[in-house]
């Protein structure tokens, strides 16, 4: 092949390669393998997907306990601020578990029907929002004990589906030889979340007041839910094109028309920067 120089030469060579040689199969990147598995009807995650979901759900479980432990950390400050006695503080703290015990069985049944990932996302957005608005609700009402207890009860309802949804999701999407590690790794989020909110929450409580602890846990949860819905629960198409006129190159073109060059066996003096319409 003659030396290639200039932008037009790059474009013409790419057009020639893409039009005249597709004899070898496409390069099987991890994303391509995942797409083929979904098209073949395999319900289980690939190893790459399992790792990504493990980290994501670990963070979600961590935030679950951050939000759950926000009230116990702030209980003394809130009691002094609103004038609650020990009985009233106990009502505000214990109302969470009345809701938490109600949705345990219902959460697993619903996850089996509609999918554990959807239940986890919707519940996280709900209890994340409740956590974030708790300080505002407590300040605007004439009876903060009643409203805070009600919000904690609703928060328990939504958090009660988390672990049943995880069990349903793992049974449907994680292979048997990876399930034990995945479950134990995600379960570590409970201890990690307690440590995180215990350290960071204490600093926020001292510097900015008890409201900041709820804002911290609530907005982090909402951000996590947004990332989960945007990057993991949306299908993204991938187009793979193999270029074989040059034996040591393959081009991978994704759905955004970005071109990546993968060396196969030999070094290559040819470089291609980008392809634009």
Side-chain-side CA neighbours of 270 within 13 Å: the count stands at 23
92, 84 contact by CB (below 8 A): yes
**H or E stretch covering 190:** helix 176-208
Both 220 and 242 in a single domain?
no
pTM above 0.85, yes or no: no
Tens digit of each residue's pLDDT, the chain (277 residues): 445 455 555 555 555 545 554 444 554 444 454 555 555 567 888 888 899 999 999 999 999 999 999 999 999 999 999 999 999 999 999 999 999 999 988 888 899 999 899 999 999 999 999 999 999 999 998 899 999 999 999 999 999 999 999 999 999 999 989 999 999 999 999 999 999 999 999 999 999 999 999 999 999 999 999 999 888 776 433 333 333 343 433 444 333 434 444 444 333 333 333 334 4
159 and 272 in one domain?
Answer: no
Does 188 lie in the same domain as 130?
yes
Residues 250 and 273 in one domain: yes
* 40: in domain: no
Pair 258, 225 in one domain? no
Query: 277 and 182 share a domain?
Result: no
- Does one domain contain both 2 and 23? yes
224 and 252 fall within a common domain: no
Q: Are residues 107 and 223 in the same domain?
A: yes
Q: Which residue has the tokens 């106990």?
A: 90
For residue 97, what are the domain limits?
A: 47-232
Domain count, the chain: 2
Supply the CATH number for residue 52's domain. 1.20.1250.20
- Does a structural domain hold residue 41? no
Report pLDDT for 275. 38
How buried is residue 68: exposed, middle or buried, by Cβ count under 10 Å (0-12/13-18/19+)? buried
The pLDDT assigned to 44 comes to: 87
Residues 222 and 243 in one domain: no
Listed in sequence order, the residues at least 6 apart from 78 whose beta carbon sits closer than 8 Å to its beta carbon are: 71, 84, 89, 92, 138, 148, 210
């Amino acid at each position: 092949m003659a030396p290639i120089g200039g932008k037009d030469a790059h474009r013409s060579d790419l057009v020639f390669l893409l039009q005249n040689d597709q004899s070898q199969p496409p390069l099987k990147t991890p994303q391509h393998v995942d797409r083929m598995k979904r098209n073949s009807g395999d319900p289980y995650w690939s190893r790459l997907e399992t790792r990504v979901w493990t980290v994501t759900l670990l963070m979600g479980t961590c935030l679950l306990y951050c939000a759950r432990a926000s009230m116990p950390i702030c209980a003394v400050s809130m009691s002094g601020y609103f004038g609650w006695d020990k009985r009233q503080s106990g009502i505000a703290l214990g109302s969470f578990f009345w809701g938490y015990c109600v949705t345990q069985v219902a959460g697993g049944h619903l996850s089996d029907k509609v999918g554990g990932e959807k239940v986890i996302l919707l519940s996280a957005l709900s209890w994340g929002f409740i956590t974030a608005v708790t300080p505002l609700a407590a300040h605007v009402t004439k009876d903060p004990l009643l409203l805070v207890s009600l919000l904690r009860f609703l928060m328990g309802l939504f958090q009660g589906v988390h672990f049943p949804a995880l069990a349903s999701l793992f049974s449907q999407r994680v292979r048997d030889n990876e399930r034990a590690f995945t479950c134990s790794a995600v379960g570590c989020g409970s201890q990690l979340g307690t440590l995180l909110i215990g350290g960071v929450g204490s600093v926020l409580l001292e510097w900015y007041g008890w409201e900041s602890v709820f804002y911290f846990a609530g907005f982090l949860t909402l951000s996590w839910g947004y990332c989960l819905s945007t990057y993991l629960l949306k299908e993204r198409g991938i187009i793979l094109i193999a270029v074989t006129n040059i034996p040591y190159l393959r081009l991978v073109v994704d759905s955004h028309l970005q071109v990546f060059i993968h060396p196969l066996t030999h070094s290559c003096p040819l470089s291609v920067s980008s392809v634009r319409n």
